[in-house]
A and B are shown apart, each in its own frame.
Chain A
Amino acid sequence: MNLYDLIVKKIKDIQAAGDESPVTNISTSSMLTAEITLVSSILVALIMLRLVSKVLMIVAVLVVLFAALTAMPLMPKFKKEQNDSLASMMFYVVIALAIVITLFYWGNLNV
């Protein structure tokens, strides 16, 4: 089994049971592009931590790189999470509210 077949198999494994859409060449290459874009964008964004601390930046980049490599492929999981179910949308809305309020209240008082 070559690398491409391995990727297709992994996508099929992660894809939701209810998702009947076939895994085609186009969908696989789209998934790969999204995967590479996601990981590279996050890694480049993490470099901005240099403004806080260079050591923190290096540690964060290495940790995220390791986590991304071990958890790959991330995009099928991300796609599954960003579905149209009201329950999951509500879940992320509540999480976002908590993060925003915590960051503002705690972040501004302590920075």
Chain B
Amino acid sequence: MSVFQRVKSTVRPKAVRALDDALMTHYVRQEDVVRELSELTRLLTDRFDAEAEAVAVLGQRLAALSAQMEQMQDELRARS
């Protein structure tokens, strides 16, 4: 084993450990990320569904108003 390799084999684990220690507080477990993502997806899906339902209710009420307006126009036409 060359001197370089010996130095490398000694230094490398220390460097890795130092890096690990430095980053440890920022590590997140993959399963936590997946759980959070899944919750976020559920919230967004719920939100989109809810908005779609809100649009549907509004659409129904607008349709009812449109029909009412058409009826009034017909009545006005009939009177004039």
Binding partners A and B: no
- A residues within 8 Å of B by Cβ? none
- B residues within 8 Å of A by Cβ? none
